[in-house]
């Protein structure tokens, strides 16, 4: 009986510890998201992603123009 109680107690302690870790992580994330440096980093990453997408679109357009130029040059 004591072994069963110890196992149940251990399981409950593990669940409490996990819940505490989740709460701590949520709290840390909330503090981090309020940080000006974190927000600046997110804005920078967003701008870089937007720039990469724009570069990809421009490159596709340039490639299509080059193909069109080559077709006209062959004729």
Nearest to 47 by CA among 33, 29, 39, 30: 39
16/41 Cα distance (integer angstroms): 34
Q: Please tell me whether the overall predicted TM-score, pTM, comes out greater than 0.75 for this model.
A: no
52 CB-near residues (< 8 Å, 6+ apart): none
For residue 18, the model assigns a pLDDT of 80
pLDDT digits (tens, 9 = 90+) for 18-70: 888 888 888 888 887 788 888 888 889 999 999 999 999 999 999 999 998 88
68 neighbors 74 (Cβ within 8 angstroms): no
With a cut of 70, say whether residue 1 has pLDDT above it.
no
Tokens of 35: 């940080």
Q: Which residue has the higher pLDDT, 65 or 12?
A: 65
Tokens of 52: 């990469």
């Amino acid at each position: 009986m004591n072994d069963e109680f110890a196992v149940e107690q251990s399981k409950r302690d593990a669940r409490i510890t996990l819940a505490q870790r989740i709460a701590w992580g949520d709290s840390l994330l909330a503090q981090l998201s309020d940080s000006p440096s974190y927000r600046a980093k997110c804005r920078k990453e967003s701008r870089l992603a937007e720039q990469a997408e724009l570069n990809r679109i421009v490159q596709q357009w340039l490639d299509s123009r080059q193909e069109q130029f080559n077709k006209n040059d062959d004729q």
